[in-house]
Every structure is written in structure tokens, then in C-alpha cells.
Amino acid sequence: MIDISAIRLDFPILSEKISGKPLIYLDNAATSQKPLPVIAAIDRYLRTQNSNIHRAAHHLANISTELYETSRSKIAKHLGVKTHEINFTRGTTESINLLKEAYGMKMLEKGDAVLISEMEHHANIVPWLDLKEKIGIELRYIPMNLDCTLDLSQIDTLLDQKVKLVSIQMISNAIGTIHPVEFIIQKAKSLGARVHLDIAQVVSHQAIDLSEMNIDFASFSGHKVFAPFGIGVFWGREDLLNQMKPYHFGGEMIKEVYMDKATYNDLPYKFEAGTPNVMGGIALAEAFDYIDKIGMSAIEAYESSLYEFAYEELSKIEALQFHSPKGKSIASLSFSIGDIHPFDIGQILDAQGIAIRTGHHCAQPIMRKLGIEGTCRASICFYNTEEEILALVRGLKQGIKMLS
């Protein structure tokens, strides 16, 4: 059972006022707010622990190194994987680019196929388009149904021996659709294809054990899971990471450097060139500690109930059309309201202190498929309440009256 009042006290930004109105933050799919333990960890690090890590002989460097590497171990334990399989990046986008460069450029050949879906974030489309241009891979798409689910009717045609990599979101960032990844993974593995999952919209909402999923790679951003911007994780199976070559070069990722050659460091450091985001890594581990203390099962139960409540209440607005499939989506409610532009709705809600996201959500192919420019997206977290959902409904009704 979640003590929502106590939890809300952990997030000081929720006490802010926007245009004189209490902040109602429903833009969690874009980024989550930060709890006091994470803020305290950042403050403590900058005040008393700040130093570059590894190699130095002084006290602060030793403390920073221990904190950073302990954080890597905590994150690995939370995800059910080996510590040295956790590679820190700036976020999901950089993680997928790491996969594209270190795996795709080095281990795929002209004529090989990569399978994604029409419902991907641009970060899981554009890198593969670049790979198609550079080495001549074939890029295939699992189509999208108009009910905002994946059309798997042609999966046996799309997934054949030419497909060497499947890269897909577990949950759509734009509309919250939960994809049937277990089925897709099973199909891909039966043909020997590697599988990468974008879990950016999963880690703050559901328990996940990567070791039990029969996949090869996964990516997520820390700022989606109560940590600051600029930190993320690329996870890969140890045997595959050992086969892959770095794509960023410089300090830390080397073992030895000569004038005519260089050798690379061991995992995970060979993929972490340059000075790392030490503070971000520490804060990310603190964020996972925070949600572990609440309990992911309690979080899932509360958010599921709140999502159902939101869906039911928003359904009462006659002009509102959902683009999040009921019963097959989580946390995000994406919708449009007649011919009213989503941005106009967002502006009216903002004047009432209600924060949602409007636009194409870095998923233009979805919007083209639906024949719309964009949607309004209200995305929830365990610090949101039924009272906030009711305020959203009132705000939307007011906006419709003003704009109709």
C-alpha cells in the first residue's frame, strides 16, 4: 500500500505553483520529478565528495570511485544482470547509437536486415536509417494498427533468416501501448536474431529482470526514473560486449596507448570514453534505491488503479478520442479533441497549473498513420492522485468550451 501523502512530500517540486495554481505534473513520460533522497545525494556529492574517478591516489578520488562503482553494482542488481554488463551513457538515444555503431557497423553486413516497428521513438529509427545508408542494411517495420497496437499478422514474413537484429520499445513513449515483446522475442530467437529492447518507459513503472527475458541488449534513460538528465544505461550480454569494438575513443576506454597502436580496456570501461557523469551514476542508483523502498509491486498496483480511473474519467468527455488502447497501455494517456490543436489545449491547461505534453512525441510515423499532427499526452506516476486527474478533466472541459 502506498502512502501517497508521504510520497508527495518527498518531491518538493510538487509544492510549486504555476500561474498561481498548484502544480499538477502529468508529463512523467517526458521526464520524472526527483525525490529528496536523489536531490540529497547530488547535493552531498557536490559539497563533500566531488572528484574525478579512477587512478588518483587521493582521498576524494577514492570516495568518488567507490560510490560510482557501487552505484553500477546496485543498478545491475536491480536489473538482474552482471555489474560489468552495465555501461553508463547519457541516455537511451546514446545507448541506441552505441548499439548501432559498436554492433551494427562492426557486425552487420550489406543485405542483413534490422526489424523495428512503425511505433518507435525517432531514436530507434534514425540510427538504423543511417546504417541503411552507410552499409546497405535492409530496414523492416512491424506495421501499426489504427487501434494503436502492433499488427503481427505478417510477423513470419517480416522475421526471416536475413533479420540479424530486432530493436523495439517495450512500451510506446508516445501513446503508452504495451507491445507483445515476449512473442516477438521468441520469434526472433528461433531464427537466431539478436534482440534489443528500449525500456525507457518501463523502468519506473514495472519490475524488470533482464536476465530472464532472453534478450541481448537493453537501453534506458535515468531521467525517466527519478534521476537527473545526462545519465543512462546500455546493457548488453557479456559475450556480445566482448566481441564489440568501442565507437568513442579517448581516456578510460584504453588499456595501453603507443604511437602506432592502442589496446582497449576491459568491460565496462571500453565503452565509457572520457570523464563520466559520476554524479549522475550515483543519483541513478539512489533513484533505484528509492523505488525499491516503496516496492515495485505497490507502485504497479497504485498506478494501474490510477490509470483505470483516469481512462474512465476522461472517457466522459464526449469530444475526446483516445489514442492509447484500453487494457493494452500503461501510464500514458494519449488523446485528441476534435479539430482543436493539441498545443492550444496544452496552453490552456498550463494556465491552470496542469503540465501535459503535446505534439508528435518524437514519433512522427505514428501521427502520420493516425492522420493527425500530434496528440495531448497525460502521463502518470505514483505521486499523482485522483484529485489531479479530476482537475485535468475539468481543465479539458474548460478548454473545449473556450476553443469550440
CA–CA distance, 302 with 297 (Å, rounded to integer): 9
Query: What is the pLDDT confidence band of residue 152, given thresholds at 50, 70 and 90?
Result: very high
Query: What is the pLDDT confidence band of residue 55, given thresholds at 50, 70 and 90?
Result: confident
Q: Name the percent of the chain lying above pLDDT 90.
A: 97
CA–CA distance, 176 with 401 (Å, rounded to integer): 28
Tell me, what's the pLDDT at 404? 80
Q: Name the percent of the chain lying above pLDDT 70.
A: 100
Tell me, what's the pLDDT at 1? 79
Which domains are delineated in the chain?
4-27+295-403 (3.90.1150.10), 39-292 (3.40.640.10)
CB contact set of 218 (below 8 Å; sequence gap of 6+) = 79, 196, 197, 198, 199, 210, 233, 234, 235
pTM comes to 0.96
**Is 287 in a helix, a strand, or coil?**
helix
Tell me, what's the pLDDT at 364? 96
CA–CA distance, 175 with 381 (Å, rounded to integer): 15
Contact predicate 38/286, CB 8 Å: yes
Catalytic (active-site) positions:
362
Contact predicate 226/290, CB 8 Å: yes
Could you report the per-residue pLDDT of 161-175, keeping only the tens digit for each? 999 999 999 999 999
Segment 218-226 shows an average pLDDT of 98
User: Is pLDDT above 90 for 128?
Assistant: yes
313-to-31, 227, 381 alpha-carbon distances in Å:
24, 31, 17
Query: What is the pLDDT confidence band of residue 57, given thresholds at 50, 70 and 90?
Result: confident
Query: What is the pLDDT confidence band of residue 134, given thresholds at 50, 70 and 90?
Result: very high
The torsion angles phi and psi of 94, rounded to 5 degrees, stand at: -65, -35
